[in-house]
């Protein structure tokens, strides 16, 4: 009597991993999903901080995928371990600060560890040969296999027919003939397969699934490292890079100015960790200040913050500053005119 084989599927929340898992389930494999959270994952909720985005659906696409598939999903926090991947990528960065190949190797190696700890037999991913320029190039797929240590227990159901047979295929755990031979950037085969399976409303993130592929975000991260003179970060740092306007009028401090109510509420949660500037006489943003400020710096930063308040055209605006040690000061300032706010201050 043969026992049911078990596969752990890397579920990103996108269409490819959904389809790869479905192909295995349909072959009678017991599949459970694993989703790694690096801190840089693009999810609807980050955008949902902003009030203007509240009409958008706020679902976690990995959970949604698991529900469609009827499988368990294990979401694993790898924020701390991921730092070394981002800070010291062996294979370098992509167009921005995205270490895609190192990231894939790391995630597959973590999945291998999970597979061994939980008595599973192999790993599946939604990789498609040639679909992504850095991590899914034909010549780099074997690098993931080798450097993750997954070796021939890594099966890519969507492009398996383009690759050498893996252990699950050779052992007859899965039928290679039922696997796919997708390649390249054309998404039509995946969309046709999704229609065949009856999947609708699946996620189609325009910019990929990671903030590190975004130039604006990457610029803010590089600025953070330069300002601190070291490549390191905490979760709060990288969360705040997604929120508000970031201006650095002086090398030793940065202002994060909320753009609307939703961000104001979110930044309230950081008031104990940062010096703050609040507009008291008018409706206006909460601003966090990252750095050590003199009284003169506070005055200058407050003028910038006031420019983004409803008192922007007023002769005088009342602001309250709170230093990191809790010292509060309330004073009146003239908002800085837009012409004095230098474009290069925007990060």
Partner 1 sequence: MSQHTLDARNSLCPMPVIKTQNKVNELQAGDILKVTCTDPGALNDIPAWCRINGHLIKDSYEENNEVVIIIQVAG
Instruction: Name the residues that contact partner 1, by CB under 8 A.
Output: 35, 37, 41, 43-46, 48-49, 54, 58-60, 62-64, 66-67, 71-77, 239, 265-266, 269-270
User: 84-114: string of b/e by CB count within 10 Å (b at 16+)?
Assistant: ebbeebebebbebbbbbbbbbbbbbbbbbeb
> Is the CB of 39 or the CB of 89 nearer to partner 1?
39
Rounded CA-CA distance 238/92 in Å is 20
Q: Give the H or E element holding residue 304.
A: helix 295-307
Nearest to 38 by CA among 96, 90, 93, 100: 100
Cα 323 → chain centroid: 31
| Total residue count of the chain as it appears in this document | 347
> Is the CB of 61 or the CB of 131 nearer to partner 1?
61
Instruction: Assign residue 291 a region (left: φ > 0; alpha: ψ between -120 and 50; beta: otherwise).
Output: left
Rounded CA-CA distance 228/237 in Å is 12
Tell me how far, at minimum, the Cβ of 80 lies from partner 1, in Å: 13
Tell me how far, at minimum, the Cβ of 79 lies from partner 1, in Å: 9
DSSP state of 32: E
> Is the CB of 158 or the CB of 240 nearer to partner 1?
240
> Is the CB of 185 or the CB of 265 nearer to partner 1?
265
Tell me how far, at minimum, the Cβ of 130 lies from partner 1, in Å: 30
What number of helices (H) and strands (E) belong to the chain?
A: 12, 11
Tell me how far, at minimum, the Cβ of 55 lies from partner 1, in Å: 12
> Is the CB of 76 or the CB of 222 nearer to partner 1?
76
Tell me how far, at minimum, the Cβ of 239 lies from partner 1, in Å: 6
Tell me how far, at minimum, the Cβ of 72 lies from partner 1, in Å: 6
Tell me how far, at minimum, the Cβ of 180 lies from partner 1, in Å: 26
Cα 255 → chain centroid: 23
Tell me how far, at minimum, the Cβ of 101 lies from partner 1, in Å: 24
Strands 6-10 and 122-124 come out as: parallel
> Is the CB of 35 or the CB of 322 nearer to partner 1?
35
Q: Are residues 134 and 140 in contact, defined by beta-carbon separation less than 8 angstroms?
A: yes
Rounded CA-CA distance 147/135 in Å is 13
> Is the CB of 30 or the CB of 91 nearer to partner 1?
30
Rounded CA-CA distance 16/204 in Å is 10
Rounded CA-CA distance 310/317 in Å is 10
Rounded CA-CA distance 45/58 in Å is 6
Tell me how far, at minimum, the Cβ of 272 lies from partner 1, in Å: 11
Rounded CA-CA distance 281/316 in Å is 9
> Is the CB of 44 or the CB of 208 nearer to partner 1?
44
> Is the CB of 43 or the CB of 297 nearer to partner 1?
43
């Amino acid at each position: 009597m043969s026992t049911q084989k078990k596969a752990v599927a890397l579920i990103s929340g996108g269409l490819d991993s959904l389809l790869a898992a479905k192909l295995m389930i349909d072959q009678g494999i017991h599949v459970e999903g694993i989703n790694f959270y690096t801190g840089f994952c693009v999810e609807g909720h980050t955008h949902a901080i902003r009030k203007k985005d509240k009409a958008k659906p706020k679902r976690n696409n990995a959970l949604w995928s698991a529900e469609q598939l009827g499988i368990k999903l294990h979401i694993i926090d790898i924020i701390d371990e991921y730092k070394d991947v981002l800070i010291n990528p062996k294979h370098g960065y992509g167009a921005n600060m995205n270490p895609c190949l190192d990231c894939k190797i790391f995630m597959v190696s973590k999945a291998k560890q999970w597979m061994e700890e939980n008595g599973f037999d192999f790993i599946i991913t939604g990789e498609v040969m040639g679909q992504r320029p850095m991590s899914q190039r034909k010549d780099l797929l074997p690098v993931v296999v080798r450097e993750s240590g997954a070796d021939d227990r890594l099966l890519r159901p969507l492009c398996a027919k383009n690759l050498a047979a893996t252990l699950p295929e050779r052992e007859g755990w899965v039928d290679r003939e039922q696997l796919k031979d997708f390649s390249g950037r054309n998404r039509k085969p995946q969309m046709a397969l999704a229609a065949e399976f009856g999947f609708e409303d699946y996620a189609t993130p325009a910019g990929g699934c990671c903030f590190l592929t975004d130039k604006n975000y990457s610029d803010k991260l590089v600025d953070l490292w330069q300002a601190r003179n070291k490549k390191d970060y905490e979760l709060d740092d990288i969360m705040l890079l997604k929120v508000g306007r970031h201006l650095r009028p002086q090398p030793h401090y940065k202002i994060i100015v909320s753009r609307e109510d939703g961000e104001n509420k979110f930044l309230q949660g950081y008031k104990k960790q940062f010096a703050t500037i609040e507009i008291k006489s008018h409706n206006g943003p909460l601003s966090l200040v990252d750095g050590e400020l003199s009284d003169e710096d506070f005055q200058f930063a407050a003028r910038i913050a006031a420019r983004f308040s409803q008192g922007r055209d007023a002769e005088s605006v009342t602001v309250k500053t709170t230093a990191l040690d809790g010292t509060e000061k309330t004073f009146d300032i003239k908002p800085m005119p837009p012409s004095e706010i230098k474009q290069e201050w925007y990060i």
